[in-house]
Structure 1
Amino acid sequence: MKLDEYEVLLKNISIELNHFLVSRGASKDIAEDVVQDVFVKVLEMDLILPPDKIRPYMYKIAKTKYIDLNRREARLQKILQQYLIPQQKQTREPHTEDKSKKLQRIIQKLSPGDQEILKMKYIEGQSIDEIATNLKITSPGVKMRLYRLRKKIKKGFGES
């Protein structure tokens, strides 16, 4: 199989994957992000899988990436709701209290614009395109800002 044919096969499978993820409940943006990650990973591999093995491999990677993304989003949603939406004080364990205060300080140190982006994405549930339209910036710009904000929050906790 020639390299051009292989890339066409990957492209066709990527389109199938996108439809598969959307049919399973993923938003169009999330599905496109997951498929892009899978496509790039397959293209960066040192070996070329045979045509009969590439489709199952790509589906498995896409499923895993989608599950991981949902878990991360759910965890971030919970954390951001806890600190960006005023709520009644809840009783927490002392260890959790320390982390909560630390996260609250980290989020408060962010600029109001950064806090707004986090709120729009994780509390209001707006898509990347909606945020981009509201803030009058590009979609990749929104993605990059969210990526950097997640890194800042992790760095504030001392995680790599």
Structure 2
Amino acid sequence: MKLDGYESLIKNISLELMHYLIGQGAHQEIAEDVIQDVFVKILKMDIILPPNEIRPYMYRLARNQYVDQYRRQARFKKLLQVYLIPAAKQPRSTINGPQNNRLAKVLRKLNDKDRQLLKLKYLNNQSVDQIASQTNKSPAAVKMRLYRIRKKLRKALGDESNE
């Protein structure tokens, strides 16, 4: 099989997968991120799967990526609720541990704008477009800022696996 044909097959299946994830209730941004990860993983593989095996493999990979991302986001949201909501509103004893203490320290070191971005995105569940209009920034700038904040948090917690 020619590699160009293989890449176009993967691209077509990726678009199909994105519509599938959105149909299953995933937000478009999350579905796009998952599909991008799947697409890159498939292209980085050392082997070329036959056309009849690539679709089920990509569906399985996308489902696993989505579940992983959902779990990370749920955990991240829970931690943000504990450490970004003022102490008077939220008891701090709900999550303990050295990693969470490190996260609390890192969140306290973030500037107010970064903390506000995290609150808008993860606590208020606002879209990137909504945040962009509120902060008078472009959606691309908001996405990049959120990416850099998450990267900083992962680095502080010693998790380099999701870069």
TM over 0.5: yes
TM tier, shorter chain? Answer: 0.7 to 0.9
User: Does residue 115 of the first structure (1) align with residue 115 of the second (2)?
Assistant: yes
Partners of 2:102 and 2:5 in 1: how far apart? 52
Report how far residue 122 of structure 1 moved. Answer: 0.6
Partners of 1:53 and 1:23 in 2: how far apart? 23
Between 44-53 and 58-67, the greater mean CA deviation after superposition: 44-53
Maintained 8 Å contact 2:107/2:115: yes
Matching residue of 2:82: 82
Maintained 8 Å contact 2:83/2:92: no
Report how far residue 77 of structure 1 moved. Answer: 0.4
Matching residue of 2:63: 63
Matching residue of 2:73: 73
Matching residue of 2:10: 10
Matching residue of 1:152: 152
Report how far residue 85 of structure 1 moved. Answer: 1.8
CA 1:49/1:159 → structure 2, altered by over 3 Å: closer, same or farther? closer
Q: Percent identity?
A: 50
What amino acid maps onto 1:46 in structure 2?
A: D
Matching residue of 2:124: 124
Q: Which has the higher contact order (CA 8 A, sep 6+)?
A: 1
Matching residue of 2:33: 33
CA 1:15/1:91 → structure 2, altered by over 3 Å: closer, same or farther? closer
> How does the TM-score come out when normalised to structure 1?
0.85
Report how far residue 43 of structure 1 moved. Answer: 1.6
Matching residue of 1:92: 93
Q: Which runs of 5+ in 2 are unaligned?
A: none
Partners of 1:146 and 1:126 in 2: how far apart? 13
Between 100-109 and 71-80, the greater mean CA deviation after superposition: 100-109
Count residues in correspondence.
159
CA RMSD of aligned residues (A): 2.3
CA 1:59/1:97 → structure 2, altered by over 3 Å: closer, same or farther? closer
What amino acid maps onto 1:71 in structure 2?
A: R
Maintained 8 Å contact 2:38/2:61: yes
Structure 2 residue matching 1:96: 3-state secondary structure: coil
Partners of 2:111 and 2:25 in 1: how far apart? 33
Cα deviation per residue 1:78-117 (whole Å; 9 max; x = unaligned)? Answer: 0111122224453738x92765554333212101111111
Q: Which runs of 5+ in 1 are unaligned?
A: none
Matching residue of 1:42: 42
What amino acid maps onto 2:105 in structure 1?
A: R
Partners of 1:52 and 1:154 in 2: how far apart? 38
